[in-house]
Structure 1
Amino acid sequence: MPSSKRKRDDPSNESLSFELGPSPSTGSIGPILVSFPALQAPKDTPFKCYGRKKAKKEKDDDGEKYDRTLVVGEAPAVEFISNEEESKRAADAGCRYLLAVRDPRTSKIKILPTAKTPFILTRTVKALKSVAPDDAPSGLAYREARTALGETFGTKKAKAAIRAQERNRVDVGAMQGVMQHVVEGIDEKAEGLLSKEEAKDLADSARLVPPFSATATDPADIYPLNDIIPDPEFKALNIAPIEENLKDNGMLPWKYCQWVNNHLRRMGQEEEKSKGRKRKIKILLYIATMFLFRRTINHPKGLEKDTVYEKMNNVPPIIVDGLLSRFTETTRGSSLHKFTSAMTTKFMAYLLALCLRVDDFASNPKILAEDLSMSVTNINAAYRSLGCKLKTLPERERASRGLSDSLSDTKFAVLVAPVQFPTARKGKRT
């Protein structure tokens, strides 16, 4: 039966309708959405929106003149202000927000477009604004705090590592009193150290090469001849038999030195005697003597001087004595002359320096490698120790030296002035 009491109107029986609200007019603020991370503002907190006026060229497509960039609210204890960077990050998420407002009298829900971006607010406590922020902890304070935590809560292994680190740490405060004495001691000891130029001169003087001139601008002046062949030995060389053989086109006596034979044979084929011909023949004779000396003295146990004289009976004794004194070593209490590795390096430097002079300071390493029964790599290394550069000769230079075109790809050892010695490599080869 129907009740006699008056009932309220049932809202479920009312029909709802939606209506799209108008866009904010030019210059108006319109509804704004804000977010309060980790803190909720009181309901009675007043908020204001501030904007800067855009220039004409900055107007949006819809003709908007104002750029709403700042939302500010103030409560009795806290201030709120929008964070532009965080708000832009939220806008870049791609979400667009709308507000729906229901009117209970008309049962209409009005959809209101909001601002383009939600505003993310940050807070500032008023009571803390006058307090200066603490400085970042120093490295020492951080290290002390970390050590205290490790000693309190660390494992046995961590505590042992902390104690080892403390033992190895230098007490700077204790060093302040003696620092000046340490610096003075270093300066006093450093006075005896060599400078860069002095160290270079000392290293050059220890090189197993003939005496050289580092400032010479002509390759002929880098290694003077009288420093390689002493004058008494040079005068003792007898070239009359060689000149006779060259005159009669006879056989040359050095079967183990084709490099010398090729040069002598080429000199015998020349119609006119060139200037300095006898001097060059003497140098070639001395080179052949050095070849013979190398074959004679290259004995693992060494040789007596009389044995060397016997095997080199056709060589003047003054030359044999000079070769023995410069390129062999004797141990204490022994008369055996040994051809050690250091003496071998020195001997090769003197020999190749003479070969460069005969070849007009551009030698072919391959021919000498065959005569010396050595690899081309070792011969090239010996040439580099003299300051030579390995390179191919251009066509014009080959023609001036009388070399065939078949040697266009052959690398010659060329002595360049002023001389530059190779530097020691640092680190491992990659």
Structure 2
Amino acid sequence: MSPASTPTNKRKRNDDGEKEISLRLGSSSSGIAPMLVSFPALEAPESTPFKLYARKKSKTKEKDGDSAKFERMLVVGETPAVEFLTNEEETNNVARSGSRYLLAVHNRRTGSVVLLPEAKAPHVLSRTVKNLKAIPPAPAPSAAAYREARTALGETFGTKKAQAAIRAQERNRVDVDAMKGAIPFVMDGIDKGAEGLLTKEEAKEFADANRLIPPFSLDATDPSDIYSLHDVIPETEWKAINVTPFDEAKEFKERRDLLPYRHSKWLNDHLYHTYQGEMKHKKRKIKLLYYISTLMDFRLIRFGKDGIEKDRISDKLKGVPNIIVDGLISRFTETTRGSTACHITSATETKLLAYLLALCLRVDGFTSNPNVLGQDLNLALTQVNQIFKSLGCKYKALSERDRVKLGLSETLANLKMQVLTAPVEFPRVRTGKKNTGR
């Protein structure tokens, strides 16, 4: 290594016989400088020969600085029993961490010390025992072997609490190997138990059949065909409704008094507009209004805890044909074993409201205002909307075209209505548990 053209600092021999030493700064343009290595676990003997190898240059166009040269260098050493080689990953980690050293080379013959101009990072060497090269590495322990070793260690050196936890865990562990012989019997039992279970299609049909709503058609392309009229009002009951008194009445008050229930704004508005001018299907509409009024009046009967006999129900529904009263009792009440008293439950009341609102949709042209009906039925808007939803309705604001078609004013532009469209789509039934946030 050629020294730089820098002034030489010499120290003369002292009287006590010390030799003078010259200190010089090495040139950065010199050849390969001494390398610094680190032995992590085993130190090589001083007589071990080391060689320096360089990797091939990268094809990418970049300047080959000293750092680039350093990254391509490999230090290799060998003894009869052990080989040493640069661990590139560890060496790069040390270099990136900023661990660098200044080296100085002492020439004993000339008594000079050359200080290298650049700091160097050490090469971290890894070792390989030659006799162990032919032995394949041991496979990684399995999860079971690791668990057994950890359990043995915990039972030997663990605290009493840790040992108790290990024993409890061992008691609760299922021996998979012991269960292998029983798996065919378990699977046979599952197959036999699943024979009576419903398929997805059968479960859907079962859920549809048990909805608390009138019979419906999923294939209907017109809203009027979704809930057939005589599926809601049996034909015998329909024919029992007499509309002649309504036609013979001269005033609106007389017609209103013919209804079983007279305190509904929705009913009174429709009854009033039915006789204003010419209207198609007037007789049909009067029958619908009369039946809806009967359902409203039937719902207000107080059944009480002990129920009501059929005769008393007929007395409360004065003027209503007996065939209609008997039909309402059979569809919307229940009787207990050994008793003739009629009871109304939450399920039968929901069913009655669903039938009632299905008829209201037919009168309203399948677009109903839930606010008005909720007030007449003394129900919260959410309850009314939930029943409409179970019927397959959609709660939305009407477009201008729909408002004109139904003869509604512009003041209802922002009011949401319950609309029944075909084909009908019902809400999905939730099967999971409700998330309480706990």
TM-score (norm 2): 0.87
Report the AA paired with residue 411 of structure 2: S
Structure 1 residues 45 and 255, CA, compared in 2 at 3 Å: closer, same or farther? same
Deviates more, 1:40-49 or 1:407-416: 407-416
Corresponding residue number in structure 1 for 2:266? 259
Compute the displacement of 1:64 (Å): 8.2
Structure 1 residues 117 and 206, CA, compared in 2 at 3 Å: closer, same or farther? same
Compute the displacement of 1:126 (Å): 1.0
**Is this contact kept in 2: 1:69–1:84, CA < 8 A?**
no
Compute the displacement of 1:418 (Å): 2.2
Q: Distance in 2 between matches of 1:13 and 1:210?
A: 117
Corresponding residue number in structure 2 for 1:109? 113
Report the AA paired with residue 177 of structure 1: G
Correspondence for 1:273 among 276, 279, 301: 279
Report the AA paired with residue 348 of structure 2: M
User: Does 1:413 pair with 2:415?
Assistant: no
Structure 2: unaligned runs, 5 residues or longer? 1-12
Report the AA paired with residue 33 of structure 1: L
Report the AA paired with residue 43 of structure 1: E
Correspondence for 1:340 among 331, 341, 345: 345
Q: Give aligned-pair identity as a percent.
A: 56
Compute the displacement of 1:429 (Å): 5.3
User: Does 1:383 pair with 2:397?
Assistant: no
Corresponding residue number in structure 1 for 2:5? none
Corresponding residue number in structure 1 for 2:4? none
User: Does 1:129 pair with 2:156?
Assistant: no
Deviates more, 1:358-367 or 1:392-401: 392-401
Q: Distance in 1 between matches of 2:338 and 2:231?
A: 30
Residues 326-384 of structure 1: CA deviation (Å, up to 9, x unaligned)? 11112222222222211101101111111111111111111111111111111111111
Correspondence for 1:284 among 289, 308, 315: 289
Structure 1 residues 19 and 255, CA, compared in 2 at 3 Å: closer, same or farther? same
Report the AA paired with residue 52 of structure 2: C
Report the AA paired with residue 273 of structure 1: M
Compute the displacement of 1:163 (Å): 3.1
* Aligned pairs, number: 418
Deviates more, 1:172-181 or 1:328-337: 172-181
User: Does 1:152 pair with 2:156?
Assistant: yes
Deviates more, 1:290-299 or 1:152-161: 152-161
Corresponding residue number in structure 1 for 2:37? 34
Compute the displacement of 1:8 (Å): 9.4
Correspondence for 2:329 among 324, 331, 343: 324
Corresponding residue number in structure 2 for 1:308? 313
Q: Distance in 1 between matches of 2:282 and 2:347?
A: 34
**Is this contact kept in 1: 2:309–2:340, CA < 8 A?**
yes
Compute the displacement of 1:423 (Å): 2.4
Q: What secondary structure, in the 3-state scheme, does the structure 2 residue paired with 1:91 have?
A: helix
Compute the displacement of 1:87 (Å): 1.2
Correspondence for 1:183 among 184, 187, 209: 187
Residues 171-227 of structure 1: CA deviation (Å, up to 9, x unaligned)? 333332332232223223222211111111111111111111122222211111111
**Is this contact kept in 1: 2:36–2:120, CA < 8 A?**
no
Deviates more, 1:67-76 or 1:369-378: 67-76
Give the RMSD, CA atoms, in angstroms: 2.6
After superposition, residues 216-255 of structure 1 pair within 5 angstroms as: 216-245=220-249, 248-251=251-254, 252-253=256-257, 254-255=261-262
Structure 1: unaligned runs, 5 residues or longer? 1-6
Compute the displacement of 1:394 (Å): 1.6
Compute the displacement of 1:63 (Å): 12
Residues 393-412 of structure 1: CA deviation (Å, up to 9, x unaligned)? 12221122111222223221
Q: What secondary structure, in the 3-state scheme, does the structure 2 residue paired with 1:263 have?
A: helix
Q: What secondary structure, in the 3-state scheme, does the structure 1 residue paired with 2:116 have?
A: strand
**Is this contact kept in 1: 2:102–2:120, CA < 8 A?**
no
TM-score (norm 1): 0.89
User: Does 1:402 pair with 2:388?
Assistant: no
Q: Distance in 1 between matches of 2:38 and 2:167?
A: 51
Report the AA paired with residue 189 of structure 2: G
Q: Distance in 2 between matches of 1:224 and 1:11?
A: 126
Residues 239-280 of structure 1: CA deviation (Å, up to 9, x unaligned)? 1122334x64555224312211111112222x3322x22212
**Is this contact kept in 1: 2:49–2:78, CA < 8 A?**
yes
**Is this contact kept in 2: 1:30–1:114, CA < 8 A?**
no
Deviates more, 1:147-156 or 1:119-128: 147-156
Structure 1 residues 333 and 186, CA, compared in 2 at 3 Å: closer, same or farther? closer
Residues 279-314 of structure 1: CA deviation (Å, up to 9, x unaligned)? 122111111111122223554432222222222221
After superposition, residues 166-181 of structure 1 pair within 5 angstroms as: 166-181=170-185
Corresponding residue number in structure 2 for 1:4? none
Compute the displacement of 1:56 (Å): 6.7
Report the AA paired with residue 409 of structure 1: N
Corresponding residue number in structure 2 for 1:18? 23
Structure 1 residues 167 and 95, CA, compared in 2 at 3 Å: closer, same or farther? closer
Structure 1 residues 365 and 18, CA, compared in 2 at 3 Å: closer, same or farther? same
**Is this contact kept in 1: 2:104–2:115, CA < 8 A?**
yes
Structure 1 residues 300 and 242, CA, compared in 2 at 3 Å: closer, same or farther? farther
